[in-house]
A = this chain, B = another copy of it.
Amino acid sequence: MPYTLEHKSQSRDRILTAAVDLFCRFGFDQISITRVMKQANMTHGAFYAHFKSKSELYALAIRHAAMQSLWVKEQHNISNIGHFTTLIDAYLSLAHVNQLGAPCPLAFLVTDVAHCNDAVRESYQQTFQAMLTSMSEQLTALGLTHSYSLAQQILTRLVGTVSIARTLADKDLQQSLLENSRRDLHQLLAPTAVLHK
């Protein structure tokens, strides 16, 4: 048997990884199946042995991106507020905006997903809810009150800042936007600010 189960699973993973990278970088509609498969080192005919449509790939790519994202990977290592704000800084970094590491699908695909079918939107929504819940629990564990609404506040700010920053051609404006959000969120989470509330 020339193709093992593991081989298939590896191929599938390469497709998903390529899809996340390309969809985030250029948008779903601008990326053809041929291009995704090329980046995954296969030809486009092989695609349909793994996914039933391009649309299905999108829904699964969103979940894949979420699993690879910094927030999800680090979520169980957060033991103090310092660590939490470190993740915020990473999210609001130029490296993230320029997609050097694993991109957060919430910020990189927002508008795109709004135009898609129910399966894709549900995938996005589940990712959003999972991150919201996880962040809320972390904030509670760190001793903060109103943690769910606080998490919502932080997450919308993160997504808004990064998605806008990505559109800006002016590097100074981009930098100042990111810095400003970092500063605001640090202040929001500073122990003193919380105690005085």
Protomer copies: 2
> Is A153 part of the binding interface, using a Cβ–Cβ cutoff of 8 Å?
yes
Q: Quick one: which of A135-157 are within 8 Å of B by CB? A: 149, 152-153, 155-157
Q: A170: which B residues are within 8 A, CB to CB?
A: 125
Q: Quick one: which of A156-185 are within 8 Å of B by CB? A: 156-161, 163-164, 166-170, 173, 177, 180-181, 183-184
Interface of A is mostly: helix
Partner of A110, one of B25, B26, B30, B163: B163
Partner of A156, one of B121, B149, B169, B181: B181
Q: A183: which B residues are within 8 A, CB to CB?
A: 149
A-side residues, CB < 8 A to B, are 25-27, 29-30, 106, 108-115, 118, 121-122, 124-125, 128-129, 149, 152-153, 155-161, 163-164, 166-170, 173, 177, 180-181, 183-184
